[in-house]
A = this chain, B = another copy of it.
Amino acid sequence: MAVNSPLPVAEDLKPVHGIEIGFAEACIKKPDRKDVLVMKLAPTATVSGVFTKNRFCAAPVQVSKANLAAASSGGEKIVALLVNTGNANAGTGDSGLADAQATCAALAKLLDCHPQQILPFSTGVILEPLPVAKVVAGLPDAVANLQLDNWYNAAEAIMTTDTQPKAASRTVTIGGHTVTMTGISKGAGMIKPNMATMLGYLAFDAKVAQPVLDQLVRHAADHSFNCITIDGDTSTNDSFMLIATGAGSLVIDSAGTPEYEALKEAVTDISRNLAQQIIRDGEGATKFITITVEEGASVEECRKIAYSIAHSPLVKTAFFASDPNLGRILAAIGYAGVDDLDVTKLDMYLDDVWVAKNGGRNPDYQEADGQRVMKQSEITVRVKLARGDATATVWTCDLSHDYVTINADYRS
């Protein structure tokens, strides 16, 4: 189903020393599916994360933020991450917070640590109470099967409306040290992350100081998960967690070194891959669209225009139909909110086809050329603003009948 996104191969997902993974089938929403995930960290590990900016951020997000802040500022280290699908535990008020803490307490007891050393995560339906007893009942199974080589199962355990698991692995050599990194993510609707997306987890086996890891996770998120959108709906549960297990030989104590730059590049690359897998498996997606806005006065205005195009239902349905009704893209640029935009200097390309020139139809543009590109499953829209040097790229998908079908039927 996903657009040019082959199914991950379990054998290609490399174990990362310093992180063990266990899962369970806890029947949270449906039977016979993995819906509880535990990731247990070595004592050498550091963890950093970015979370949704949605004001209705979920109870587990609030608890994870607090526990992570305590650990990052010298408190007891994080011991494990706990994820459940089937229920978001968002819009659940004070009882939702107590529920999230109850699941942490139950796992802490099994792992012989304090509840504050657990980071909880949830995904699923909003405004419904978390079935705490079911989550807790699944924990002994998940802890019993903790092992290094469980990433494929982990990717499956965090799926909701995803049609396939999302994962990626890399081995890079930095300063003579081999670093192994593996990550997983999930979508597939309510996707317009603002800080990070629900859910991405990326681990590698270097040892990284906390402030450096904090800087790294923000950079990686800003250049990957924070550049994707399916439907413009920023979830209540978005979280992207970066874990440096410290089990390998590479040690990074400060940013700005060549080793840090190499690690940053590798982490950002794999993050982008995980983020793009979410778009390729977006609800109902039939096309993968890259929108690049160039020559802007600021990155912010480039992103504004790129998101305006990416969120337009008219643009998205035209992509679905392979219809080069490209004036809809100009309209979306025009209402993006860049109030002093001089459209008479604006150019637009569809892949190699020059469609709009100085704000009007390029006299050399032929509809057959636009039609040819629109039929592809991968399309790049390039907009040149002639206002400056800034650039931004956003990845999105089309809007199809299946999106409506899936979301008119999600809870049944």
Contacts and interface: CB of A to CB of B under 8 A. Distances in A.
Interface of A: 53-57, 88, 90-96, 125-129, 189-190, 192, 194, 231-236, 311-314, 317-318, 320-321, 323, 325-328, 330-336, 338-339, 341, 343-344, 355-356, 358-361, 399-401, 403-405, 407-412
A90 B55 contact: no
A312 B125 CA distance: 16
A293 to B, nearest CB: 14
A336 B234 CA distance: 9
A408 B318 contact: yes
A56 B92 contact: no
A127 B404 contact: no
A56 B331 contact: yes
A330 B233 contact: no
A360 B317 contact: no
Contacts of A334: 54-57, 234, 236
A361 B127 contact: yes
In this complex, the member of A57, A88, A236, A335 whose beta carbon has the largest number of chain B beta carbons within 10 angstroms is A335
Contacts of A312: 231-233
A403 B194 CA distance: 28
Given A93-B344, A125-B325, A403-B313, A335 B53 contact: yes
A140 B128 CA distance: 65
Contacts of A330: 56, 90-91, 126-127, 236
Given A91-B356, A335-B54, A231 B327 contact: no
B127 A326 contact: yes
Nearest to A95: B360
B407 A401 contact: no
A326 B125 CA distance: 9
Contact of A411 (B325, B341, B358): B325
Nearest to A331: B236
Given A54-B335, A404-B401, A90 B327 contact: yes
B320 A404 contact: yes
Q: Which 9 A-B pairs have the closest CB atoms?
A: A126-B327, A93-B360, A56-B334, A127-B327, A321-B408, A234-B335, A317-B407, A54-B334, A55-B334
A129 B335 CA distance: 21
27 contacts: A54-B334, A55-B335, A55-B338, A56-B333, A56-B359, A88-B327, A90-B331, A91-B356, A91-B360, A93-B359, A93-B361, A126-B325, A126-B331, A127-B356, A128-B361, A194-B335, A231-B313, A232-B312, A233-B313, A235-B331, A236-B327, A313-B407, A321-B408, A323-B410, A323-B412, A325-B410, A404-B404
A375 B335 CA distance: 34
A411 B231 CA distance: 24
A190 B93 contact: no
A233 B57 contact: no
Contacts of A190: 314, 328, 331
Given A91-B360, A335-B233, A407 B127 contact: no
A231 to B, nearest CB: 4
A317 B408 contact: yes
A282 B90 CA distance: 32
Given A232-B311, A320-B404, A360-B91, A125 B411 contact: no
A231 B127 contact: no
Contacts of A335: 53-55, 192, 194, 233-234
Given A330-B126, A330-B127, A359-B93, A408 B320 contact: yes
A134 B318 CA distance: 27
Contacts of A336: 55
